[in-house]
């Protein structure tokens, strides 16, 4: 991922990236009973690596600390249908923050986060 993003940044220098952390799951495709711990470790490592990589470039990762395994439906993979707002709220806040840096218009006056 870092190599791909580095290429994108070289081709299009003004590119900004917001990385949404990979959320935990109870079940992963191809998972065996023994591999669950390793998959979770890899998920956490990847989220941390991307956070560091992007923060060095003054970009953001969205950690979604407000979402846990309790928010999954019975399949252990998908989020409850009632959670899009919970997942999108941090994204909306960071987008408004980043866009405000590039605009003379005060974007929070134009968009109310409660409407997202």
- 94 burial level (CB within 10 Å; 0-12, 13-18, 19+): middle
SS3 (DSSP) at 61: strand
- The pTM score is 0.66
Q: How many domains does the chain have?
A: 1
Tell whether the model's pLDDT for residue 114 goes beyond 60. Answer: no
Crossing angle of helices 2-11 and 36-55, in 10° steps, is 30
User: Residue 92: which domain range?
Assistant: 2-115
Q: Express each pLDDT in 48-77 by its tens digit.
A: 999 999 999 988 888 877 777 777 788 878
- CATH code, domain carrying 91: 3.40.50
Contact between 27 and 76 under an 8 Å Cβ cutoff? The reply is yes
């Amino acid at each position: 991922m870092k190599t791909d993003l580095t290429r994108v940044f070289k081709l299009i220098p003004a590119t900004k990236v917001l990385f949404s952390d990979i959320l935990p799951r109870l079940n992963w495709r191809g998972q065996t009973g023994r591999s669950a711990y390793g998959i979770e470790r890899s998920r956490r490592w990847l989220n941390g690596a991307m956070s560091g990589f992007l923060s060095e470039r003054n970009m953001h990762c969205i950690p979604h600390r407000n979402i846990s395994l309790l928010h999954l439906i019975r399949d252990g993979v998908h989020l409850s249908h009632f959670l899009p707002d919970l997942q999108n709220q941090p994204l909306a806040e960071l987008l408004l923050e980043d866009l405000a840096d590039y605009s003379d218009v005060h974007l929070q006056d134009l968009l109310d986060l409660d409407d997202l």
